[in-house]
């Protein structure tokens, strides 16, 4: 017995790391630890929970449950059902698409020059088509009679800011109806169409109906919109530049593909 002990110990040491790769086994089927690592990374990235022994225990229990149910689905032949097979193939393609795009982004990172080019392009477009920004107040009510009653009070000398407390817009009612500075296209078409016709300090003569209800609109001020500085929009432009690059990749791949 003793002469085999070194061989047995060597075998255990050699197989130790192999066993360490498995989180658990269900009916002889191994659940790799890497699956738990990926699940934990996703949950922590989404701020669902911090990585901890408690989280790992929950993940292990969940993965065991998944494996039990997966084996049961195979036993019942559910993977052969057309609907299930279609969903499995769709999920497989989704994973592959994500992998391709992640690989491309890793190998083709966006440079500072790319981001600056995206900024310059958009600024040039903005300079060609200057826009205005409006400092607007509104009072939003559910019915036209309510809106007309408020307009009558305004014409009688009531303060807009006071009447705005009756508004059903929770974001502006406590600010005197103020919507702050914004370009006209920020608002729904019915609202913006009337907004651009109002002069500074003027209020709509009649209520304006939109999908949200009936508006009384006042323009407090108008100014020329300015393009934001580079540092302020750099994170968004980095995403835009990356999307542009991915769109170029997709267009190139489609051009090479035989589509019938």
Residue 3 has pLDDT above 80, yes or no: no
For residue 20, the model assigns a pLDDT of 53
Q: How far apart are CA 32 and CA 169, in angstroms?
A: 52
For residue 49, the model assigns a pLDDT of 82
Residue 1 has pLDDT above 70, yes or no: no
Is residue 228 exposed (0-12), middle (13-18) or buried (19+ Cβ within 10 Å)? middle
Q: How far apart are CA 144 and CA 216, in angstroms?
A: 10
Residue 85 has pLDDT above 70, yes or no: yes
Lowest mean pLDDT among 19-28, 69-78, 156-165, 251-260: 19-28
Yes or no: say if 185 and 192 are a contact pair by the CB < 8 Å rule.
yes
Place of tokens 């494996």: 67
- Nearest Cα residue to 180 out of 213, 216, 223: 223
pLDDT in tens, 156-165: 999 999 999 9
Report the DSSP pairing between strands 213-224 and 132-141: antiparallel
CA 97 vs CA 34, 43, 85, 102, 175: distances in Å: 21, 21, 18, 9, 47
Q: How far apart are CA 236 and CA 242, in angstroms?
A: 10
For residue 129, the model assigns a pLDDT of 85
CA 186 vs CA 34, 181, 191: distances in Å: 46, 10, 9
pLDDT in tens, 229-239: 999 999 999 99
Lowest mean pLDDT among 16-30, 118-132, 210-224, 236-250: 16-30
**Please, which residues bridge with residue 31 across strands?**
24
Contacts of 259 (CB under 8 A, 6+ apart): none
Mean pLDDT, range 181-194, rounded to an integer: 94
Residue 7 has pLDDT above 70, yes or no: no
CA 29 vs CA 23, 37, 70, 111: distances in Å: 11, 18, 11, 45
pTM, full prediction: 0.56
Where exactly are the structural domains of the chain?
15-80, 82-130+228-260, 134-224
Residue 32 has pLDDT above 50, yes or no: yes
Q: How far apart are CA 99 and CA 107, in angstroms?
A: 12
Residue 105 has pLDDT above 60, yes or no: yes
Domain covering 134-224 assigned CATH 3.10.50.40 in the classification: yes
For residue 18, the model assigns a pLDDT of 42
Averaged pLDDT score across all residues of the chain: 89
């Amino acid at each position: 017995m003793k002469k085999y002990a070194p061989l047995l110990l060597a075998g255990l040491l050699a197989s130790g790391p192999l066993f360490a790769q498995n989180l658990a086994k269900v009916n002889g089927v191994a659940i790799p630890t890497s699956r738990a690592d990926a699940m934990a990374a996703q949950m922590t990235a989404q701020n669902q929970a911090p990585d901890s022994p408690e989280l790992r225990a929950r993940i292990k229990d969940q993965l065991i449950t998944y494996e039990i149910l997966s084996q049961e689905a195979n036993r019942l032949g559910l993977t052969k059902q057309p609907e299930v097979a279609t969903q499995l193939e769709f999920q497989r393609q989704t994973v592959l698409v994500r992998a391709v795009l992640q690989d491309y982004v890793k190998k083709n990172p966006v440079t500072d020059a790319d981001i600056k080019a995206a900024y310059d392009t958009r600024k040039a477009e903005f300079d060609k088509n200057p826009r205005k920004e409006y400092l607007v107040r509104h009072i939003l009510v559910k019915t036209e009679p309510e809106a007309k009653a408020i307009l009558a009070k305004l014409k009688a000398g009531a303060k807009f800011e006071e009447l705005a407390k009756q508004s059903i817009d929770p974001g502006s009612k406590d600010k005197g109806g103020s919507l702050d500075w914004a370009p006209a296209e920020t608002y729904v078409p019915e609202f913006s169409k009337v907004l651009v016709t109002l002069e500074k300090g003027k209020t709509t003569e009649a209520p304006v109906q939109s999908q949200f209800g009936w508006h009384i609109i006042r323009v407090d001020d108008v100014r020329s919109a300015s393009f934001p500085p580079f540092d302020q929009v750099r994170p968004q432009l980095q995403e835009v530049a990356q999307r542009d690059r991915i769109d170029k990749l997709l267009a190139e791949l489609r051009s090479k593909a035989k589509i019938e």
